[in-house]
Amino acid sequence: MTWTEALPARVPSCRPTGLVLVVLLGLLPAEPSVAQRSVGTTTFGVQVGQPGGVTGKLYRASPIAYDGLFTTDGNDFVSLYVHRLWERPLPDSLVHLYAGPGLLLEGRSLQTTPTPQFGLSAEAGLNFFLKRFEVFLHVTPSLRLYPDQGTRWGGSVGLRYRLH
């Protein structure tokens, strides 16, 4: 498998279901809260898609946030994405637009001959808070630089719970 090919599905495709979920949740009346995007707000949850896994986000002074994603097949593959994001509210809406650069670290063939991989990635998407939950949808293009070059486009939908 080359890096430009799509990753093998590790979970059943949830793209249509996830998109419908985000749209339906977006139609629900959200209650704005000043603390939702205050410095130190931390959210943790899951995202499905390419890539999918366990995700977290840390809000810093407006408009800065950092997010990370950890994914594994539980056996022979592990991946870590980290992004620095700039977030801006859309006019007259509770929805925010975010985008920013990031790093990608992967390990493949962990059981036989571990192959580290390194690259750059980016993330751009939309999110909103519904009570203590952050609902988001984004695209994640990435460029692998080591050990060889390759590109990949991904997209995910997810839900994070706000801890504080």
Q: Is residue 64 part of a domain?
A: yes
Q: How does the average pLDDT of the chain come out, rounded?
A: 84
88 neighbors 100 (Cβ within 8 angstroms): no
**What pLDDT does 114 receive?**
80
Whether the predicted model's global pTM rises above the 0.75 cut = yes
Q: Is residue 125 part of a domain?
A: yes
Of 50, 88, 93, 87, nearest to 67 by C-alpha is 87
Q: Is residue 5 part of a domain?
A: no
Q: Is residue 3 part of a domain?
A: no
Residue 104 has pLDDT above 50, yes or no: yes
3-state secondary structure 93-142: CCCEEEEEEEEEEEEECCCCCCEEEEEEEEEEEEEEEECCEEEEEEECCE
Measured distance CA(7)–CA(113) in Å, rounded: 19
CA distances for 28 relative to 22, 34, 43, 135, 138, angstroms = 10, 19, 20, 12, 20
Tens of pLDDT along 20-77?
555 544 554 445 444 467 888 999 999 999 999 999 999 999 899 999 999 998 888 8
Residue 17 has pLDDT above 80, yes or no: no
Measured distance CA(87)–CA(65) in Å, rounded: 7
**What pLDDT does 110 receive?**
78
Tens of pLDDT along 1-12?
445 444 444 444
Confidence band (pLDDT; 50, 70, 90) for 136?
Answer: very high
Q: What is the mean pLDDT of residues 145-149?
A: 93
Q: Is residue 117 part of a domain?
A: yes
Which of 18-22, 76-80, 93-97 is the least confident region?
A: 18-22
Domain that holds residue 123: 34-162
Measured distance CA(25)–CA(16) in Å, rounded: 14
Q: Is residue 16 part of a domain?
A: no
Total number of domains constituting the chain? 1
CATH of the domain at 47: 2.40.160.20
Q: Is residue 70 part of a domain?
A: yes
Q: Is residue 2 part of a domain?
A: no
Residue 120 has pLDDT above 90, yes or no: yes
